Amino acid sequence: MPAPRCENGRAMAKETGKKLVAQNKKARHEYTILDTYECGMVLTGTEVKSLREGRANLVDGYAYIQGGEAWIDNVFIPEYAQGTWTNHSARRKRKLLLHKMEIRKIESKAKETGHTLVPLSLYFKDGRAKLELALAVGKKLYDKRQTLRERQDRLESARAVAAARRRQG
């Protein structure tokens, strides 16, 4: 099959780089991230078109391993506006694409008490939809407070250093 062409007859450039579609900022606040994995997703055509418009929500999503396969559930990808009767359901469960060894490794770690799989971000990499999946442990309230305190301390020290540099120069 010949390469797609532009109006002037030249071959079109392939899409390269990373285009962020959605990010789960709440997950980084609610969980301590132990390990991250990049995986592909099995999507329908209307889901891809909806994602290319930058429409998705990962906040309520979670992943699990079942029957030697990785699945993600409750990720909201809204219906494509120009879709017809072939449109997808917005919160359907979707299969994740990982190597068997990765799935086994994730499954053994996720079985430990308190461990869960949460989606961190959804993006396009070289034209393909990818999901950043994290193995995480839920934070207690005092852990969240401590994280906020540490972030505040780092900000204050950075401001103090910047102010000292301004006074010198």
User: Are 150 and 160 in the same domain?
Assistant: yes
What average pLDDT does the structure give for the chain?
A: 85
What CA–CA distance (Å, rounded) separates 132 from 118?
Answer: 9
User: Are 156 and 85 in the same domain?
Assistant: no
What CA–CA distance (Å, rounded) separates 51 from 79?
Answer: 10
User: Are 59 and 83 in the same domain?
Assistant: yes
Q: What pLDDT score does 134 carry? A: 92
DSSP symbol at 119: E
Overall pTM surpassing 0.75 (yes/no): no
pLDDT tens digit sequence for 78-116: 888 777 777 777 788 899 999 999 999 999 988 888 889
DSSP of 39-52: EEE---HHHHHHHH
User: Are 122 and 154 in the same domain?
Assistant: no
User: Are 66 and 80 in the same domain?
Assistant: yes
Band (pLDDT 50/70/90 cuts) for residue 14 is: low
What CA–CA distance (Å, rounded) separates 153 from 55?
Answer: 35
Q: What pLDDT score does 143 carry? A: 78
In a domain, 11, yes or no: no
Q: Which residues of 2-156 form beta strands (DSSP E)? A: 18-23, 31-41, 62-66, 69-73, 94-97, 115-125, 128-138
DSSP symbol at 57: B
User: Are 54 and 103 in the same domain?
Assistant: yes
In a domain, 22, yes or no: yes
Q: Which residue, chain included where needed, has tokens 């391993």?
A: 65
Q: What pLDDT score does 138 carry? A: 86
Give bridge partners of residue 61 from the DSSP assignment: none
Q: What pLDDT score does 131 carry? A: 92
Rg (CA), the chain: 21
Amino acid at the residue 20:
L
Residue 48 has pLDDT above 60, yes or no: yes
User: Are 73 and 150 in the same domain?
Assistant: no
Band (pLDDT 50/70/90 cuts) for residue 3 is: low
Provide the number of structural domains found in the chain: 2
Angle at 70 between CA 30 and CA 51, to 5 degrees: 70
User: Are 36 and 93 in the same domain?
Assistant: yes
87 or 8, higher pLDDT: 87
pLDDT tens digit sequence for 137-163: 888 877 788 888 999 999 999 999 999
Q: What pLDDT score does 95 carry? A: 92
Residue percentage of the chain with pLDDT more than 70: 90
User: Are 67 and 145 in the same domain?
Assistant: no
User: Are 78 and 130 in the same domain?
Assistant: yes
The boundaries of the domain holding residue 151 are: 140-169
115 three-state secondary structure: strand
